[in-house]
Chain A
């Protein structure tokens, strides 16, 4: 800023150890503010100097005070204006200058003049022959800096507006721990060259502003819902569940409904609820024996069941659709489990994948969503096993309070709706469905009679929306998603409250 000035200051300080900036200003014959500016830029380079503030009070003459020094005090001027024969007061006021009135009263109180009332009109006459103008003498001394006035007189002169007091701030400089007589340029960042040359040791670095935000990292981001999917996968894997192959969106009505003992007149099989495919419209490849068993358990019963007592039609089962639940895949897996080489073995399966419903769309419903499903098959499983498993599963989602409500589902019996207590919303909310698969579904597959299969399902979107406080599902899924939201989303830790 002032390279010359800064170095002159430092050089001066080297000689004298302690100096006031005001003195420096006088010495260098520059404005004091410039010296202060140079000091600031020295300070920005580190602790070269120590600066302590000092306050200076100085007395100076006002304009009126200056006039007194030149022309004498007001009272002396009035005294001089009075001739020996005396003068009428009005004439004196006219002759005694601008401050005649003040001067007259001061001269009177000093006892320099008297008012002779023996004549008419009365006359002002000199009372003494000689005066000493001490006001002028004092002010002259003050102005030259040769006199320290007693406080009382200062107050009096200030009151008379002859003197004024000014306060000047300055800095008293001493050498700092990093004192040097020259300034080095400040570096903004550490560079490769500095490291390789070793120069960094000598360089001065600009102080860092820790209040500013950092630079945004350039990076890609994972989608928030799929981060939750990853977390759910992790939970299932931690619990020892194997993943089902759910990469088949197009399914036959047979596997989607009939295999699950969902009767052909069931409303879910209505075009109002399900997307049917007209190209390719039908499936033709079914395990024939199994198909016959499914047909008979629907129409006439068996396996301890009365059946639904209706005319089961192959053509209904052949209709292709977009699967309405991943349970269609569970059915395929259970059929495989029953018919695998070596016979049935206990198994735990899970899947998280898209399902499709031809439903009325609103803020929380889309035509496609992700279903999370867990299935366990073993000899002698109980409803208590299902409840216990659900508690463990939901605990991993950070949910510890559960309640189960009886419900109806065509392929599970008993069926339970799962409710959890949401502390944030302070209410019980439905989070999923669960149940024990019906024997009419399992036995035609060829599973042993003593094998029970427990299962549960929930949507991936709903818990995600509740967790992140999203009200419109389109803000989470689909092309309208705000990428800023994707970028700023936290990592997914469902059990981290």
Chain B
């Protein structure tokens, strides 16, 4: 969820009303936003960098930090937030965006070479913009927020904004070998080629994260004007030549992308939010984007879509009973202008503006009605049907056994499913490659390398952490391990195990053996003797985790379901235990 910071006084000026923090929080809550923090630039600097010296000169103006839902790109800056809230409060009508045709449209031509790296581009122009320091900052911040969110850190879309008066169209979007591209990047005087640029920004705090998007590509995307001035090297950086300033009047906006839908959304969002600062408010100048196949597409789309919604269905979806006109009013407050169809009073005609690309289905419209109505005003009801509930049999057995094992004097542990390779292999004298373990591809630390194949390491770690407790310590856990299983749908399956450990001055094999006997008794499984077909028994085996001659397979109806034994001293040492331990661990799934 993105968070934006806006100056409180600026926000209240724009809203035309002063709120207390609590009042504003309530307004946000009803609209689906959250006032996350009330702070100042000074506090933020002190908190983030602990740099009191740098913070000393920072502003103490109050800043509201507001959480914005991830799909509401139109609220990612002060301009959009104010419009959204004012429309929600019914104070203003949703703005209408208009195209203003220039004498001659700016043209951006996409060269076929871009298909190798970043195939899409869209563009638009905002004319006669007046920037103030605050609106200028807001414009930069909005691009940053869009880059971080819908643009997925510039992988899907990268935005470039330029002072059009420094440039000469038509523009050309190409892909060239890095060495062929040479320009002075933003705020630099020195000219660099594409390869040098990668080195230059390799340690840059913000930019270094974007370099891998194109670094290893044989060609880099680049936009030139008619005089071969570089506008930008997307998605890394703009050229210094066309940078916008407070004095900039006419802004050329280009978005290059790997996802065209998102590029259109981003372009619509920027022009909708910032056309407010044009001398002719909410006016946008379209551009022609010539596709590699020679066709021309006009951007931005600024499409207003019409959806038809059934009043009955909308009411039924939410569980309210409001007349059509009321629903239309509510939707209009949510920035979706709506009216009742003259011919059919069950039908609402809803206009989806270019600021609301999040509305893709009628259910999105229903939600806006529910928000406008107020979630907390909706009448409570309960689903009418009844159902005879059923427990998942494996979980039911688990619950019953947990209770019984605790009654047998063992204390329950709750340990981690993820662990290191060493935990399940080296420390237990096993070879990781021989284990049917599921391996995690992107662990941040050693603790998350594999999914456990045995419950034992978790219990041993719990013992170590509780060495101060009086002996004997008897622990158990009934939980899942995961093993590779080629025939299963995802190639791995869970297995529910019962593991118990007795830790005392003597190993006490008979203690865990006694627990096994007790559990089998509870499961009505007899001790197999002689030629009996059914039952459980122990069968001596050797396992490097266990003391030689003190280890057996737990057998159930002639199949191995687990292991019992006295732990090998080297295992105890690996887990930093100084007391002998005996262990039983077996699969309980055969008993469901």
A: residues with CB less than 8 A from B are: 218-223, 225-226, 230, 233, 236-237, 239-252, 265, 267, 271, 275-283, 285, 301, 303-311, 320, 322, 346-348, 354, 356, 358, 366-368, 376, 378, 380-385, 387-389, 391-392, 403-408, 413-416, 436, 438-440, 452, 477-484, 486-487
Contact = CB atoms under 8 A, between A and B. Distances in A.
Given A249-B480, A280-B490, A481-B465, A305 B360 contact: yes
Per CB-CB distance, the 9 closest pairs between chain A and chain B, nearest first, are A384-B319, A406-B32, A382-B319, A280-B491, A309-B261, A479-B461, A278-B441, A408-B69, A388-B380
A440 B492 CA distance: 29
B22 to A, nearest CB: 12
Contacts of A265: 152, 155-156, 259, 262
B466 interface: yes
Given A247-B494, A279-B439, A479-B461, A387 B378 contact: yes
Given A358-B442, A384-B320, A413-B363, A479 B387 contact: no
Contacts of B406: 219-222
Interface string B432-462: 0000011111111001100100000010011
A159 B318 CA distance: 104
B57 interface: no
Contacts, number: 285
Contact of A277 (B385, B390, B441): B441
Contacts of A220: 405-412, 474, 476
B207 interface: no
Interface residues of B, number: 101
Contacts of A309: 260-261
B52 interface: no
A246 B363 CA distance: 29
A413 B72 CA distance: 14
21 contacts: A226-B414, A233-B391, A233-B399, A248-B493, A249-B451, A265-B156, A267-B152, A277-B438, A303-B361, A304-B361, A305-B360, A320-B491, A348-B387, A381-B383, A382-B317, A383-B378, A387-B319, A387-B380, A387-B381, A406-B370, A479-B461
Nearest to A382: B319
Scoring A247, A248, A482 by chain B CB atoms within 10 A of each residue's CB, the highest score goes to A247
A244 to B, nearest CB: 7
A385 B320 CA distance: 11
B465 to A, nearest CB: 5
B301 interface: no
Given A247-B494, A358-B442, A387-B375, A479 B465 contact: yes
A436 B378 CA distance: 15
B436 to A, nearest CB: 10
Contact of B387 (A240, A267, A285, A477): A240
A251 B490 contact: yes
Scoring A219, A222, A406 by chain B CB atoms within 10 A of each residue's CB, the highest score goes to A406
B442 A281 contact: no
Contacts of B69: 406-408
Contact of B417 (A249, A251, A308, A487): A249
Nearest to A428: B29
Contacts of A250: 438, 451, 482, 490-493
Contacts of A252: 489-490
Contacts of A385: 319, 381-383
B440 A483 contact: no
